[in-house]
Structures are given as structure tokens and as C-alpha cells.
Amino acid sequence: MQDDSHLMSIALDEARRAAERGEVPVGAVVVETTSGRILATAGNRTEALADPTAHAEILALRAAARTRGRPRLPDCTLVVTLEPCAMCAAAISFARIERLVFGATDPKGGAVLHGPRFYEQPTCHHRPEVAYGTGAEDASALLQAFFRARRGSERTQRRPSPEALEKDL
């Protein structure tokens, strides 16, 4: 079995590659819990695929399920750099993931510790074991740098205010 820190470093590499592609830097790894064999890795690809569901977790779960030839992954761990959203939390439950490890918490969009707290709902059929905090500082720093750069480029591309346009008339 590989330790969470090593697997998180792989997920962080996927997140960095996502950022280089202009995607929100989130990365994920699916691994067999007992053997440590990596089944899939992925980074966000929502922009590249023009697919709002192409989150790192979803892509990694799909690839791991294809590798296994079945939709359930009950003896697997999913390691992801950011707390999963509601869509990803549901997919993790549907895949019957044994263990979920995430780095940074997400008070705005997360659905495990925040928001709907998906696994605490009575309608949730499967609840993975949850661990968080591994690699949180690195994951947070990647996200903050990405959005800081994005906000900076948006500011330089903003249209002039109506007042500024009136001065030119």
C-alpha cells in the first residue's frame, strides 16, 4: 500500500498539469487500497472537453472503472487535491470507493465537510472512509496562484467603464 503523501504528490502533479492547460488545478488518483496499484490519474479537463462534468475525480473514476471492466471500485482509494463537489461526492459513492483522501477543504463548493455534507445524508447509499489535510497547503497554494493570475488577466482585459468612454467623446 502506498502512503497518502506519495499519492497526493501524484495528484498534485496532475493538478499542475491541469493549470498549465488553463484548467482549475485539481488532480486525482485512484489506487487499489491493498496492493497500492495505481489504476488511474487525471486532472480537470472541463475547458478542454467542453464538459462541465470533466472534473478530475470523475475522469479518474471513469478510467479506473474502464481498467477494471466494472463500475464499482469497492477496494479502491481516491486521492484528490480538493474537497469534492456534490457531483463528485455522488460519483464516489456510486463507485463504492472504500476510502477518500483530499487535500484542501472547499468551504464554497465542497460537499463532504461543507455544503450538503453528502455522506451524512440519509439518502446516501455508500459512505467512504474520509481523510483530509494531506497536501492541503500545496493544493491551496496552487489554487490561489491560479485564480490570482486569472483575476489579474481579467482585469487587464476588462472593458472601460461607461464613465471612461464618455470622457473620450
Query: Active-site residue 166, yes or no?
Result: no
The H or E element spanning position 31 is strand 27-32
What was the pLDDT predicted at 164?
Answer: 52
What was the pLDDT predicted at 157?
Answer: 56
> Nearest CA to 119 among 90, 155, 88?
90
Residue 50 grid coordinates:
467542453
Q: Divide the 169 residues of the chain into consecutive groups of 10 and give the mean pLDDT of each group.
A: 90 98 97 96 97 98 98 98 98 98 97 97 96 97 94 62 53
pTM: 0.88
| Cβ neighbours around 1 below 10 Å, total | 12
What was the pLDDT predicted at 168?
Answer: 47
Considering the candidates 23, 57, 137, 163, report the single residue annotated as catalytic: 57
